[in-house]
Structure 1
Amino acid sequence: MSTFTRKRVALVGLGHRGTGMWGRELLDAQGRWVEMVGLCDSNARRREHAQSVIGADVPVHADYTRMLREVRPDCVIVCVPDHLHDTFIVEALEAGCDVITEKPMAISAARCARIIEAEQRTGRRVDVAFNYRFTPTSVQLKQLLASGVIGPVQSVDFSWFLDVQHGADYFRRWHARQDRSGSLFVHKASHHFDLLNWWLDDEPVQVFARAALRRYGRNGVQGGTRCRTCERRCEFHTDIGADPWLAGLYEQASQLDGYVRDACVFRPEIDIPDTMSASLSYRSGTQVNYSLNTYLPIEGYQLAFNGLEGRIEVRQHERQPWAAPPADEIRVLRNAGPARTLWVAHGAGGHFGGDAALQDRLFRPAPTDPLGQRAGARAGALAALCGIAAMKSVASGQAEAVEAVVQHAP
């Protein structure tokens, strides 16, 4: 009888996402399949706290190169800030490791190309953690569209809403600098662009976009550098000390590196937009209208696919100031015949069950991937390149091509 050898995994970047989903939660759910062999972060206090939170006797490292050399993992999970992704991914590939990276895969076309080249040269694999592909509603939509129930899709309307709790949080952190995140068109919207690419089974070729900074940055009055020391207490005030999880990972660590997680949302150096819209065209001719807003009273999305034979409408509720149904609503309307409504219950755990399902697909033995949910470097690049092209379009005022750095990638 054959025995299964657990995959030896190392984790770099011990912030909220790394320590949570890819640390403690991963070992709780996938401990039968995964052995955590190394943790790495540049901040000594964060390393110490993360090790205690994860709850495993795992060696911690300050030096990434040394960790790779000493523990020789099968797979490295990359959770560092976005502008560092390509550096850590490529080094892991060159050390003979597979890689799982948080989105976006990279924040420029050149960095995407660098990752793809390294993956092909080393023969290792990159997976991008697009957990939204694994939510129950996303799966249901993929199956409906693949069935041809509304015929070939001609256009899509996709509006994503971030409420003031979630949206403002990006402007407190490193994400508010374009040189760190590529903007929310890259950091956040890469999830949404990936869903479109996957649902449509198509590739984007051109983007025209508009964007502006309307609510945060210089649009408000900066009362202090951060909430913790600010006496003004504006509507965006947050108390990081009230959350032991964040306080342990960031507040104590900030004394060593100066990075705070409650920086003022009105600081003048913020240079990413908070109000975004884009028009995308695909190889098949499908047209997409997309928008993202970051300061709304609701959280969730509205989505519609318009086909030659009908329409699919979706409303996903996450937070709102009224009682919402405990499930997502999908309406299937055909040009001929009755309409039907599907209610899709949320899964357990983070991202409506998407986090756990993604981990299952990545680590549990599975013979097939019938819906193509695993997202490799090609998918990661295509999603990021949509946002990169969008920001180029904002700057130029013209439609911009989605760069073809992935044309030879598998």
Structure 2
Amino acid sequence: MLAAGTMMEASPLNFAFMGRKLKVVLVGTGIRGITFWGKRLVDTYSDTLEFVGLCDINPGRLAFAQNYMGVKCSTYSNFDQMVQQNQPDLVIVTTTDSTHHEYIIRGLELGCDVLTEKPMTTDEVKCQQIIDAERKHNNKVIVGFNYRWIPYNTKIKELLREETIGKITSVDFNWYLNTYHGASYFRRWHGLRQTGGTLWVHKATHHFDLLNWWLDSDPMEVFAYGDLEHYGSANTFRGKNCRDCKHVDNCDFHWDITQSKMDMNLYVNNEKHDGYIRDNCLFREEINIYDKMSSQIKYANGTVVNYSLTTYSPFEGWRIAFNGTKGRLEAWHDIPYRKENPLSQEELHALEMTQNLKEVEGYKPMILHHLWKDHETVQVPMERGGHGGGDKRLHEKIFKLPNTQDPFDRAAGVRDGAMSILIGIGARKSIESGRPIKIAELTDLEPREKRL
């Protein structure tokens, strides 16, 4: 059990192993679950943890997961049965986003700590239910925000905390998904708002959490625009799926899933169990999320943020600029005209997502401007694999060094998970209503000028 403390304020990572291995169960055996939260933990932390159960509604994926992860634990289709029979210390939730709340809440009720993939959930009602459940039960929720742990992002946090550019007044933040990564969301269940909450929630939760953490404040109000103009019904033709499509020759987005052994074994071979199609058509008419998004966010400390997310960019990366009373900080990632990069956009996406890469050593710059002075370049050591080195650092904190003090406060719990998704939920509601949405309208959490 995590160390006792005030339910909503204590660090969610402060637990001890008590002289034995941490007993872990995993619910949801899709690609993220069995790789990042599965095989990587088995390969790296088997001295401190053991998987005692795997759970999924798809028996084929479940069997593949057990073999791929290299574990001999029991498998289940019934979550309660798995938890009651194994009495785990930690439940890891990697199901579809819209079902996260079910397993988070039930895990807490059954006496477990819970680690959930981002986003914590997909709407304000489910969010409030999770908040209430953690308050009621003597266990904690961890949200797996790996982006905080990327060294480059941590350096931004350090410079802002030291008030290198004074008090932050405004931020411009632009995120670009290329036609490999961005398109992939529209092939999968993420293309349906009822399962993924739209990319305002599923993807942008990462970005909003970074903003909340960097600015050390809570969001207070959001106004947004969004539309579906590129994927889904916006296209003039569509097919059944990429494997069975008559438009292969004139579709720039055609993806041959048969070239991926992992996707074939995990998904295609198990379609018969639940009907989930991994290579769905990007242009099917049921897609009901946005592919272009723009918002303005006002924070409790007065900072105003302009944010945008593009899902069909020629390149993958992001740019951010913090304006302060003493200067300006500019940072970016994988903007192609900023540097020479021999890798294609497809290779960059594969490299960023993999967990088994040799790290690329080097440095990445950010620009620090001071009023009335010349700018300076800050060089930050960089890594390429595993989301810029964030993945391994998050795991190290949770499973190897849970009780060490982190000067950058990167551990994320329920309040962090809530404040990140509430911006996206508010943005979605703003588009639908045409008005600004106050974050305090959504749950009983009151925005704070300074995070605790």
Same fold per superposition (TM over 0.5):
yes
Q: Percent identity, aligned pairs only?
A: 41
1:99 equivalent to 2:117? Answer no
1:262 equivalent to 2:298? Answer no
Alignment correspondent of 1:243: 260
AA aligned to 1:337 is: K
Alignment correspondent of 1:338: 374
Deviation at 1:246, TM superposition (A): 1.2
Q: 1:274 to 1:131 in 2, by over 3 A?
A: same
Q: Which runs of 4+ in 1 moved over 6 A?
A: 318-322
- Secondary structure at 2:180 match in 1: helix
1:391 equivalent to 2:428? Answer yes
AA aligned to 1:393 is: S
Q: 31-40 or 274-283: which moved more?
A: 31-40
Deviation string, structure 1 residues 76-114 (Cα, Å, up to 9, x no partner): 000000000100100000010001101110111111111
1:16 equivalent to 2:53? Answer no
Distance in 1, Cα, partners of 2:376 & 2:47: 41
Q: 53-62 or 14-23: which moved more?
A: 53-62
1:71 equivalent to 2:110? Answer no
Deviation at 1:4, TM superposition (A): 3.3
1:370 equivalent to 2:419? Answer no
1:80 equivalent to 2:95? Answer yes
Is contact 1:332–1:339 with CA below 8 Å preserved after alignment?
yes
Deviation at 1:361, TM superposition (A): 1.1
Aligned residues: 409
Q: 1:345 to 1:196 in 2, by over 3 A?
A: same
Is contact 2:220–2:447 with CA below 8 Å preserved after alignment?
no
Distance in 2, Cα, partners of 1:227 & 1:272: 20
Deviation at 1:399, TM superposition (A): 0.7
Deviation at 1:221, TM superposition (A): 3.1
AA aligned to 2:430 is: S
Task: Please list every run of 5 or more consecutive structure 1 residues that lacks an aligned counterpart in the other structure.
Answer: none
- Secondary structure at 2:243 match in 1: helix
AA aligned to 1:172 is: R
Deviation string, structure 1 residues 141-160 (Cα, Å, up to 9, x no partner): 01010111000100000000
Q: 1:208 to 1:3 in 2, by over 3 A?
A: closer
Deviation at 1:337, TM superposition (A): 3.1
- For residues 5-404 of structure 1, the aligned pairs below 5 Å read 5-233=20-248, 234-317=251-334, 323-324=340-341, 327-347=363-383, 349-365=385-401, 366-402=403-439, 403-404=442-443
AA aligned to 1:350 is: G
Deviation at 1:343, TM superposition (A): 2.7
Deviation string, structure 1 residues 31-62 (Cα, Å, up to 9, x no partner): 22211111111111101111111012222111
Is contact 1:206–1:401 with CA below 8 Å preserved after alignment?
yes
Distance in 1, Cα, partners of 2:149 & 2:257: 31
AA aligned to 1:405 is: D
Is contact 2:365–2:378 with CA below 8 Å preserved after alignment?
yes
Q: 1:158 to 1:227 in 2, by over 3 A?
A: same
Alignment correspondent of 1:405: 444
Q: 1:408 to 1:298 in 2, by over 3 A?
A: closer
Distance in 2, Cα, partners of 1:93 & 1:166: 34
AA aligned to 1:217 is: G
Deviation string, structure 1 residues 5-50 (Cα, Å, up to 9, x no partner): 2211111100010000000011112222211111111111101111
Q: 187-196 or 50-59: which moved more?
A: 50-59
Deviation at 1:408, TM superposition (A): 10
Distance in 2, Cα, partners of 1:54 & 1:319: 36
- Secondary structure at 1:245 match in 2: helix
- Secondary structure at 2:288 match in 1: coil
AA aligned to 2:421 is: A
AA aligned to 1:358 is: L
Task: Please list every run of 5 or more consecutive structure 2 residues that lacks an aligned counterpart in the other structure.
Answer: 1-16, 343-361
AA aligned to 2:395 is: Q
Deviation at 1:3, TM superposition (A): 7.1
Distance in 2, Cα, partners of 1:376 & 1:158: 24
Aligned CA RMSD, in angstroms, stands at: 1.9
- Secondary structure at 1:289 match in 2: strand
Distance in 1, Cα, partners of 2:134 & 2:325: 39
Q: 71-80 or 309-318: which moved more?
A: 309-318
